[in-house]
Structure 1
Amino acid sequence: MNPGYAAGELAKALATASAHEDEATRRRADERAGRWASVLRGMLSGALRVGSRKPVADLPVWVTPEVVRGGFATGRAAAAGGERGAPFAHYLTEAGLAELTARLDSGAYHVELPEHAALLVVAWLLRAGDRDGALRLLEEIGPYGERLRFSPLPGEAVADPDVVWRETSADAGERLAQRRRNPQIEAQREALTVWNPFADELLVLWCETVVDGQVAAAMDDDWRRRASALLRRYERLAAAHTWCGKHKRPKENLAILRSALAKVEDGVSLTPRARGMLQHAVDSMLRRRGTPGSARHAALRAGQAAEASVPTHHELARILVRRLAALPPGQGIGDVEEVLSPVRAGEADGVAPGTEFPVSLRAPVLRALAGTVEELVAARVVPSAEVLASLVPQIAAATAAAPYRDEALRTLMAATYRALRNRRSLLLLNLEHQVRLGELPWVRAVQPYRTADDDTRGEAHATLRRLGELALEGFPATLLPNPLVRELSTLGKEADAGLPWVSELAADIFEGTFATSFLGAAKVAAELLPGSLYERYYGIDYARISAIDDLRKRGRQAAATSPAFDALCRERAGELGDLRGRSVAANGMVIEQAQILTTHNLATLVARVGVRPESGWPVLADRAFATATTLAGRLRGNPRPLGTVKDIAYAWRQLVFFLSLSDEAEVRARFANWSRELDSRPDPVRAAIGPALSGLTRVAIDRTAEPDDASGTSRRLLGWTTGRHWMLVRLSR
């Protein structure tokens, strides 16, 4: 693979590391640059095999690689460094095994990387009397004992596997601790609390010198003594309070009063110009604010003092950091309202009891809310399908570990599952797959103790259905992201369902062929959607797909790809030849046709998993339409509109699928509602969505009609094209 991408990322990291104003950002960029330098060296030397599931030659496939953006391995193992603290050999002694066994029983450990579970498995096998299994495992991992950490990290026991969190309390505390003081706010507070009162003192002193309205007319020795003391205090204040520099500006009243005072102290006579400036400063201050001590002046300063007494976000963040530090650091927050309750008496100097925390400080705490995934979606802590996917390992882990009857082993396997699912994915080519749970030596070692039955299969199927419904209910206009698809696939295996799942493919590295799971998913769609609005709108011949017979086994091996399905996708995209060397857009067109034919997992969820959203299919169609119109409103003036066009097309495809499962009366009602709604939207939205809605309506009303008409006012909405997209053409008119 061309090293240009890695070189570009290295250049960006180096630029940030050398020029960014923030020290912490420079430090992180420098670390990032080091990782990208490792990637580039490995690519250029041949030490790294980009696109392989075993990117580092001298490390087994099961070792977790350090991975940077884009799925590139750096050549370093994520668990590198060996055992921090006690060495590997220590855990094979009687004392070390006793320590591991105690952790097994308490559950008080953290498996951040899959490797961190290996020695716990050794301890479990020895306690179970499986000495041979423990020795075989040690033979496999032992050669890497000095290089990798195989023992767990300290942590708290997981109390309820159904309770999940997006971030931990420690994560929230770290975010808040990084908040810096706002220079503008600090300067304003300093001006109100330090320099305004000091200016008042200068004014009072100069007012004592007024004779017949003239400032500096009478200055005795006592006055000069007090003037000198005031100037010395200014020096101390200026050294201690550096946020506000207004007092240093020569044209500011405070600076004029102080400068004149310094001249008098030095025995220098005030020039006519200096006297004039001093007189003007005193007169203007008295005119604008009143004499210090007067009711008007006192009211002004009282209001400013009240304004300055309002605690800054930085001060309030310190309070939250202290509250969060008292919580278990490795878990989410069960009671965020308690953490976010108003400031209590005596909790912080200068912060009034009852002070509320602003939204900007509440947000990091809410991100660490612990609850069921349904509760987190409802609370909008989970804003996207991608974030949902990041939580799924916590949900699916208990289900995946259920076949292990021993409680300690079940807990350990659940932790291992979560760690494997949370590791960063590698960039893979040639239809290779990420490392699977069963490939980890310590998981293989306990396979004999796994006893799946109808109950565990039923639990896996229930979890599968729950996650599918959550994804559709929460994010009906979004493709299922690949991490979520991987979790669904694993749960499908646990449920012994043999389900075909398909991943989203990257157009820039697509090699022109699809795994047989795509044909399997398309066949499921052919069972669910024959004669449907979906089939007619996208011009699909599901009977032809049903007749494809490329899923048969060839010899002893199942077919890896389906040439007939590949050819059908190319044909539908208008790309009839070999795709190698074609443009990214051409690849994207073929991939989009595969997504259309398979419904990108929607048919599998409905027909095989039994997903039935509580809101109902028409409501999900409404929400997909709302997403499409919202995205359309962002097209005009967008410097990179093609990504938005593709997102609109994804939402539209979901919408068509949902309508295809709705009854005709509901469909007709939706078309009428959407047409009225579109009439009320701005011109760019109507220009982008109008033809698509018109084309869909044509197909729904006339079962023989095509969505496209000769005038172009009705169109089939697709996201990819090698030319200029019709949406963008219409918007440019």
Structure 2
Amino acid sequence: MTENTIPYATQVRTAGEVARLLARRRPKPALAAEREAMTVWRPFEDELLAYWLRGADTTLAEGAALLKRYEALAAAHPLTGRHRDPRSPAAVLRRALLERVSGRELSPRSAELVRRATASMVARHGAPGSAAHTRLRQDQARRAARPAHHELAALVSRRLARLDQDSGLSDVDAPVAPVTAEEARETGLPVGTPVPASVRALVATALRAPAAVLVQRGVATSAEDQAGLAGSLLAAELAPGHGPYTPDERSDAPEVRDSALAALRRLAAFGLESFPAADPTPRFLAELAALAGRAGLCASFALEPYADTYTRTVTAGVLPAARVSAELLHGTPYARYYGIDFVALRELARADDREGFERLCAERAALPRPGHRPERPPPSPALAKNPALVEQVSILTSGNLAPLIGEFGVVPSTGWDALARAAFTEARRRGATAKRTARAWRHLLFHLSQCDAERRAAVLDWIDSETARLPTARAAGLAPLIADTRGACELPAP
């Protein structure tokens, strides 16, 4: 077992949390409308078509009954309004029927529209009673009879309610088994109906297993999920050797500090390896900061919003995070790629020059320098709301990655070169937005800056080979970034 392996069992959600989420699911309007169309309006349209196909055999009383039933159906089933479309064949037949029931002879134009409408409906679905039409309607009836997802979600919620509500599940398959005979008698759901994938995926988040397994199986899919695992992980990490951690235990005890530091390093490395192209979330950083306090260490994290609402100056954590970044990244490919004078930035941070930092961010974002601040400035400070300035703060503070190394000594067990490859994989992903690509590239530069020259060269060669397999347009979009990255890595250190 490596130092950074976290073997303790935990879960993203408890069984009770999943049960409550499932119980809140409601019918989807689009699906309910589709079911109404298949069970109400398609059969009515068949009757309407059959009436006109019978020709002289129909009576005015039958026609009047059809129109009366239409009004009743329209009042009772408002989910879909397609039947109200005046251009639809069914609407044409209803208007002609209204003329006929009113005692008026159909005009030549109305008669022609009826002919076209009936021909169109027969061509699309067959004549009512024909083999093709019967098969179609039987298939639609089977689809409409399938239980809605919210009905099956409610069934799974009741299953979970019978389990321990405060823990995860060692078996996530049993709660999502098909509907049993007993459940069918109780709920009216068809026996053997499978549970939909969306419900199975939510139940899977209650799987209790080692955190690395949860990430590998796609259960913990986001940094927020990762943060949700932190509390259980930390309690388990602090337990070995001296029993479970309790708040009244002496925080200055060497064994507590050592366990807290070990837990911090393992948890931070787990976060880096699991999400190598995403900034740590505030919730996750709070967990790390709490551990740092127990270990007697500082935690220089910059948290959004980066500016105080009232004073409009940068918040207290920004400059310490910038200082740690400057000390770690001076002279690295990261500094050269982004054109950062980390020596000057370090002096700004040491002097706590917040206005100077804001001016630097504005200059880097090619924006006017911040003007005079009124005595009572309005809320929504520019630094907190301007995306270009926010991105500059993230670049200058390395998205809170530098403190993980500079203050905590975190080293990923997979190696920094593996994280650089993973960040590029995220950046090249089809459909990645410009913002997502920029963030992934920032992580790529950071990870490369922790590699030695040989590993950097190997990663860059790998990137070239991977880019050659990309679609032409995507490869062309990444080409300037790759060229600038290679230039930043090949330049000699100052």
Return the TM-score normalized by structure 2.
0.70
1:190·1:243 contact (CA, 8 Å) conserved in 2?
no
Matches within 5 A, 1:448-527: 450=250, 453-496=253-296, 498-509=297-308, 515=316, 518-519=319-320, 522=323, 526=327
Counterpart in the other structure of 1:439: none
- Corresponding position: 1:686 with 2:486: no
2:424·2:441 contact (CA, 8 Å) conserved in 1?
yes
Q: Distance in 1 between matches of 2:151 and 2:324?
A: 60
Paired letter, 1:252: A
Q: 1:626 to 1:248 in 2, by over 3 A?
A: closer
Specify the SS of the correspondent of 1:303: helix
- Corresponding position: 1:562 with 2:350: yes
Over residues 476-496 of structure 1, what are the superposed CA-to-partner deviations in whole Å (9 max), with x where a residue is unaligned? 122223332222121012123
Deviation (angstroms), 1:243: 4.8
- Corresponding position: 1:191 with 2:191: no
Q: 1:400 to 1:668 in 2, by over 3 A?
A: closer
Over residues 644-675 of structure 1, what are the superposed CA-to-partner deviations in whole Å (9 max), with x where a residue is unaligned? 2xx55543333223223323332112222323
Paired letter, 1:189: M
Counterpart in the other structure of 1:322: 158
Over residues 166-219 of structure 1, what are the superposed CA-to-partner deviations in whole Å (9 max), with x where a residue is unaligned? 47124322442465573431222223785367558x759x95xx7xxx434xx8
Paired letter, 2:464: S
Counterpart in the other structure of 2:233: 395
2:223·2:275 contact (CA, 8 Å) conserved in 1?
yes
Q: 1:169 to 1:543 in 2, by over 3 A?
A: closer
Paired letter, 1:165: V
Counterpart in the other structure of 1:171: 20
Deviation (angstroms), 1:533: 4.0
Counterpart in the other structure of 2:408: 609
Deviation (angstroms), 1:624: 1.8
- Corresponding position: 1:338 with 2:338: no
Counterpart in the other structure of 1:672: 461
Pick the structure with greater CA Rg: 1
- Corresponding position: 1:699 with 2:470: no
Deviation (angstroms), 1:467: 1.3
Deviation (angstroms), 1:469: 1.1
Counterpart in the other structure of 2:421: 622
Q: Distance in 2 between matches of 1:227 and 1:544?
A: 88
Specify the SS of the correspondent of 1:488: helix
2:314·2:358 contact (CA, 8 Å) conserved in 1?
no
Identify the structure with bigger relative contact order (alpha carbons < 8 Å, sequence gap 6+).
2
Q: 1:281 to 1:322 in 2, by over 3 A?
A: farther
Q: 1:660 to 1:326 in 2, by over 3 A?
A: same
Q: 1:580 to 1:487 in 2, by over 3 A?
A: farther
Deviation (angstroms), 1:455: 3.4
Q: 1:196 to 1:320 in 2, by over 3 A?
A: farther
Q: 1:196 to 1:308 in 2, by over 3 A?
A: farther
Q: Distance in 1 between matches of 2:189 and 2:105?
A: 48
Counterpart in the other structure of 2:452: 663
Paired letter, 1:375: V
| RMSD, aligned CA | 5.3
1:575·1:590 contact (CA, 8 Å) conserved in 2?
no
Matches within 5 A, 1:197-276: 203=51, 214-216=56-58, 243=79, 252=90, 263=101, 271=105
Q: Distance in 2 between matches of 1:564 and 1:244?
A: 62
Q: Distance in 2 between matches of 1:525 and 1:593?
A: 14
Q: 1:247 to 1:684 in 2, by over 3 A?
A: closer
Specify the SS of the correspondent of 1:480: coil
Counterpart in the other structure of 2:221: 383
Deviation (angstroms), 1:504: 3.2
Percent identity, aligned pairs only?
Answer: 28
Q: Distance in 1 between matches of 2:139 and 2:250?
A: 71
Q: 1:594 to 1:276 in 2, by over 3 A?
A: closer
- Corresponding position: 1:309 with 2:108: no
Specify every segment of 5 or more residues in structure 1 that has no aligned partner in the other structure, as ranges: 1-159, 414-446, 551-560, 636-643, 706-733
Return the TM-score normalized by structure 1.
0.50
Paired letter, 1:686: A
Deviation (angstroms), 1:464: 0.8
